Amino acid sequence: MGKEKQWISIERLLNDYSIPILAEAAQNHKLQTKDSMGRRILATDGDADDQKSKAFALEHLASRYAMQQDPGPDDYLFDERLEVEGSPLDLFGWPEDQLPDLQDIQPHFQNPQAKKSWTQRTLKEFEEELKQAGSLEKAGELHGVSRQRYSEVLKDKREAAQWGKA
């Protein structure tokens, strides 16, 4: 009989990660739960009434988030209740070897306009793009610039790389 992988619950992860990161992971990274026999299964896409659904887990994360945003004098009672009864979030998570890379999850809106400028890319990225485009003119068109402008930036990148090697 093989050794069972350690279960990492969302409840446990709350000690180290923010609720927005865990919510994003639950929605997009094959959240698991356990069936009535204790076997790992994928969380369903059902609604919040389905205790095996992502929505159920997300609803509990939302409740915790609301408590964090508006702490009250009786919050210690919630913590005591968790110690006695356990948390529904103990039933959702991932085996250790399938845990998403939570460090790389960016749960907040990403403005596509905020990406780095095409001129800020590496020389390797420029040369790969030029190879795929087939010409300076076509590579420039990818960024809405002239062949000459693209060529100038590429030349600057190559010169900077040469200075770095000297």
Is pLDDT at 116 greater than 90 in this prediction?
no
- 94 DSSP β-pair partners: 8
pLDDT score of 111: 54
Q: How far apart are CA 159 and CA 164, in angstroms?
A: 9
- 9 DSSP β-pair partners: 93
In Å, how far are 7, 68, 76, 84 from 79, measured between CA atoms? 22, 12, 5, 9
Confidence of residue 147 (pLDDT cuts 50, 70, 90): confident
Is pLDDT at 107 greater than 70 in this prediction?
yes
Residues near 116 by Cβ (< 8 Å), separated by ≥ 6? none
pLDDT score of 166: 41
For a pLDDT cut of 70, what percent of the chain falls above it?
Answer: 84
Tell me how many degrees the CA angle 72-77-83 measures, rounded to the nearest 5: 135
89 with 33: CB under 8 angstroms?
no
Express each pLDDT in 18-53 by its tens digit. Answer: 888 889 999 889 999 998 888 899 998 988 888 898
Domain boundary assignment for the chain: 7-104, 116-165
32 with 43: CB under 8 angstroms?
yes
Q: What does pLDDT average to over the chain?
A: 82
Residue appearing with tokens 């994928």: 42
Q: pTM above 0.75?
A: no
Which tokens belong to 163?
A: 């200075």
